[in-house]
Amino acid sequence: MYTARANRLTPYMFMAPAAVIMAIALLYPLGYMVWGSFRDWNPSQTIGEAEFVGLKNYITLFYDPAFRESLGVTLTFASVVVVAEMVIGVGLALLLDRNIRGMSVLRTLFILPMMIAPVVVGLMWRYMYHPTVGTFNRTLESLGLPKVDWLGDHALMSVIIADIWQWTPFIFILALAALQSLPRSALEAARIDGATAWQQIVHIKIPLMMPVLIVTALLRLIDAFKVLEVILVMTEGGPGLSTEILALRISRTATEFRELGVAAAMSNYLLMLLLILTVGMFAVTKLQEARAARLARQVQEDT
């Protein structure tokens, strides 16, 4: 019916649109960025007009205390956020992994925060954190407690709380799904052996969930590096540089300081960091898959 030739071409025809779009709108821009990062380039020039300066942008950044601080803020933000969300999310999942009325309502309402625009999330929290008008300080005041300068003295913490609010549900839902797909037989066996609830969690549930949890954590970690709008709306990176994460600094360098070359070099640093994380994720996943398979086999053999 078809010639062999047409058959060979079919997959390419299916792939072609995606390949073309990703090539011109993702890969080419990334290459363009690397090229631009070696130039002293401002927004009113085309890249051809910009002067080639070699590695200067990278070196300047490396010794730039503001960049280092911003990198520090990014790493702190990402790690605190991921750890806190994992602990709370998995904790809640373990606690609520029961067949109770209202679970589906909870799950539906729980996804709301992450579906809403980051811009709007930033807006809501900026209002709630407002020093005088905001919900938190009003509540504190009516309880007779001293007010807190949320977005001033404790800006990074406040930003982290907002992110935890938005993204803990993500981890909760994935952890819950993982829990509910655990092999019942293993849990039954443990219960028959007289394991307490705590022992079940530590020795059976968590190890079996591990592969999913690690992937979830890494996905969240990579996403945490993408956060920008929430912080932009809440603090615009301030006070000082205390909440200026790298994504925000890239955007400010490009638009406010008008240094596209430096911004490109900064983007490259960020990309390298993420590349390392992604490769790490791959390695860990493969390792875990192998281990989980072994574990599952063992459990199967035991029963």
Partner 1 sequence: MLKILKTAGLATALMTTTAMAAGHGGPYAEYAGTTLVVNFPAHPHYNAAIKVLPEFTKETGIEVEVDQLPYLKMRERQTLELAQDEGEYDLISYVVFSKADYVFADQLENLAKYFMNPKLSDPSYDANDLIDGYVQNIGVAGGQKGYLPGPTGSLFGIPFGSETSVLAYRKDIFEKHGIAEPETYDQLLEAACKIPEVEPGMGGMASRAASGHQASHAFLLHLAPLGGRVFDDNWKPIINNAAGVEAANALKTIVDCGPEGAMSFGPAEAANSFANGESAMFMDSIAFMPGFENPDRSKVVGKVGYAMHPKGVRRGSQTGGFGIAIPKNAENKEAAFLLMQWLTSKKGDLMVAMEGGNPSRFSTYQDAGLNEKFPFSATFGEALKYADPDWRPIIPTWGKINADIGTTMSKVLTEGLDIQEALDGVAERAEAIMSDAGYYTWQ
Partner 2 sequence: MQYDRQNPAFYALLVALIFMAVGPIVLMFANSFKLDVDIISGSSGLLFLPTIQNYETALCDILWYEPDHLDFCALKFGGAFINSLIIALVSTVLTLVIGCMAAYALVRFRFMGRDTASLTTLLVRMVPPAVLLVPVFGLWNNEFCLDKDGLIGGYIRDTFGGRGDVCLAGTHSGIILIYVAMNLPFVIWILQSFIVQVPRSLEEAAKVDGAGPFQVFFQIVLPLIKPGLAAAAIFTFRIAWNEYLLASALSDRNTKTVPILIVNNTSEFNVEWGVIMATGMLLAIPPIIFTLFASRQIITGMTAGAVKG
Q: Considering only residues 20 through 49, tell me which ones interact with partner 1, judged by CB under 8 A.
A: 43-45
Residue 39 pairs in a beta bridge with 52
Between residues 71 and 93, which has the closer beta carbon with respect to partner 1? Answer: 71
Cis geometry, peptide bond prior to residue 239 (ω within 30 degrees of 0): yes
Amino acid found at 266: M
Q: Report the alpha-carbon distance of residue 4 to residue 205 in Å, rounded.
A: 51
Coil, helix or strand at residue 252: helix
Q: Of partner 2, partner 1, none, which one does residue 131 interact with (CB within 5 to 8 Å by kind)?
A: partner 1
Q: Which stretch binds partner 2 (CB under 8 A): 56-64, 65-73, 210-218, 293-301?
A: 210-218
Dihedral angle sign, alpha carbons of residues 138, 143, 149, 153: negative
Between residues 45 and 181, which has the closer beta carbon with respect to partner 1? Answer: 45
Q: Considering only residues 123 through 142, tell me which ones interact with partner 1, judged by CB under 8 A.
A: 130-132, 137
Residue 52 pairs in a beta bridge with 39
Q: Confirm or reject binding of residue 191 to partner 2 (CB under 8 A).
A: no
Among 57, 70, 158, 216, binds partner 2 (CB under 8 A): 216
Between residues 43 and 72, which has the closer beta carbon with respect to partner 1? Answer: 43
For residue 86, give both structure tokens. Answer: 């994992």
Q: Which stretch binds partner 1 (CB under 8 A): 76-84, 148-156, 196-204, 215-223?
A: 148-156
Q: Which helix (H) or strand (E) holds 52?
A: strand 51-52
**Closest among 160, 167, 156 to 89, alpha carbons compared:** 167
Q: Which residues bind partner 1 (CB under 8 A)?
A: 43-45, 66, 130-132, 137, 147, 149-153, 155, 235-242, 244, 252, 255-259
